[in-house]
Structure 1
Amino acid sequence: MNKTFTTRILIIVGVFFLTTEFANAQMAVGIKAGSAGIGGDFTYSVNDKLNARVSGTFFSYDMDGVYDDDPDIAYDMTSDVTSVGAIVDFYPFSKGLKLSGGIFYHDFIIDGGATPNEPYEFSDTKTFEPDRLGSLRAKVDYESKIVPYAGLGFGNPVAKGNKLKLNVELGAMYTNSPNVTMEGTGMIAPTANQDQDFEDGLKDFKFYPVLNLGLTYRF
């Protein structure tokens, strides 16, 4: 996990410094947080109505515990989201309203598992040990990690005025529907055959919502 965290930090830092040849142009850097995690932007002014922007965000969450049942079930889950993209912001009016479009590398994974951690007694006549009961793991991800993005927002990081600006954006990435993979062992193994049913139930979830609130500084 530390290696993954370091890699993502380096990606975001790289977003800010790979375009140093534009040092004499109007540009801004910023931090933001939202539905895709925390990260930052580098914005370069093409002209009065057009900005080019590179963006990077990440999110990671781990949880585990024991579900009180008969038998008790130990579970764990990991969720990782990494989004790095190139965006063009168009400002049709003199105010800060913007229309945005771009391409993202969007890596979204949820991985989890469950394992009984005590024997199960059936009708007080038979006992099944945890190793015989087995375990179950499931993963949710997307087949394509290169996805289009469209959105709108308010705020122009490189506009005249205050160097420090607040920015808001709302949009979505078209990810298509997710894949669901399940693997099971022991007596629980047949449950894994329901992975297609779960996948079918997620067919309508083809967009990843993007809502970000950020703060930028113009050079």
Structure 2
Amino acid sequence: MCTKKWFLCLLAVLFLGEQAMAEDKTTFVIDIGTMGAGAAYVLPVNEHINARLGLHGWQYSETVTKSGVRYDADLELKSTSAIADFHPLRGLLRLSGGIVFNGNNFSLTGQPSAGTFNFNGVLYPAAQVGSATGSVDFNTLSPYLGIGLGNSPKGHHSLSIALDLGAVYQGSPNVGLSVSCGNGLPASICSKLQSDAAAEARQLEDSVKNYQWWPVIALGIAFRF
């Protein structure tokens, strides 16, 4: 049941932990970094360990060229994280590990260059291509490992800096590319276009395979209350 209702179960654990350590203060963090802008709720479990639940997101657009094709790319960063922070010396330094529920994705819209599309090294006039759209997404459950500063379970400052350095393993990207044929395009040319588009999708997948690891750098402000 906890697997299907992880969020409710995690909240239950946090609240039970809060009751067990009523004398310790909880912390709320606002930060920004490579996972986007977001916030985290930090609860001390014992004198060495914190539990941290975070939400992050961001969106931006840019034009990229992959395998000879120009795309309007929209990147959506979207994640929820459940992290345990271990403070070996009960001070600022911490070692972190946990799970990121990863919704990061790219949406791609192909655009002609000089009036043509280049699929698999073959040039097609823009009129022969109805549309070219693609997507890139990643594993939903992604492990996180990192180090950081701040949020000590035994800290006494009401306001402090929080820093995270680490990486999320997203796995091999899932790439999709859909190309439709233009109106009135002969069946033989349409078939060739679809074949070249499938080969282009494989090249696109190769070009983004280095995104298996997503670097995490975040700087924020922690409020203890």
TM-score by length of 1: 0.74
Structure 1: segments with no counterpart, 5+ residues: 1-14, 68-72, 121-127
Say if 2:91 and 2:154, in contact at 8 Å, map to a contact too: no
Give the Cα separation in 1 of the matches to 2:90 and 2:81.
Answer: 26
Give the Cα separation in 1 of the matches to 2:62 and 2:113.
Answer: 17
Aligned residue pairs, count: 190
Give the Cα separation in 1 of the matches to 2:204 and 2:72.
Answer: 19
Residue 53 (1) aligns with residue 52 (2): yes
Matched with 1:7 is: none
Matched with 2:156 is: 161
Residue aligned with 1:134, SS:
strand
Matched with 2:119 is: none
Say if 1:100 and 1:152, in contact at 8 Å, map to a contact too: yes
Residue aligned with 1:114, SS:
strand
Give the Cα separation in 2 of the matches to 1:181 and 1:196.
Answer: 9
Matched with 1:212 is: 218
Identical pairs, percent: 29
Matched with 2:91 is: 95
Matched with 2:169 is: 174
TM-score by length of 2: 0.72
Give the Cα separation in 2 of the matches to 1:134 and 1:82.
Answer: 31
> Once superposed, what is the RMSD of the aligned Cα atoms?
3.2
Structure 2: segments with no counterpart, 5+ residues: 1-9, 117-123, 182-189
Give the Cα separation in 2 of the matches to 1:133 and 1:153.
Answer: 49
Give the Cα separation in 1 of the matches to 2:220 and 2:93.
Answer: 15
Letter in 2 for 1:83: S
Give the Cα separation in 2 of the matches to 1:105 and 1:202.
Answer: 20
Residue 109 (1) aligns with residue 115 (2): no
CA 1:117–1:102: 2 relative to 1, 3 Å = closer
Say if 1:28 and 1:218, in contact at 8 Å, map to a contact too: yes
Say if 2:105 and 2:135, in contact at 8 Å, map to a contact too: yes
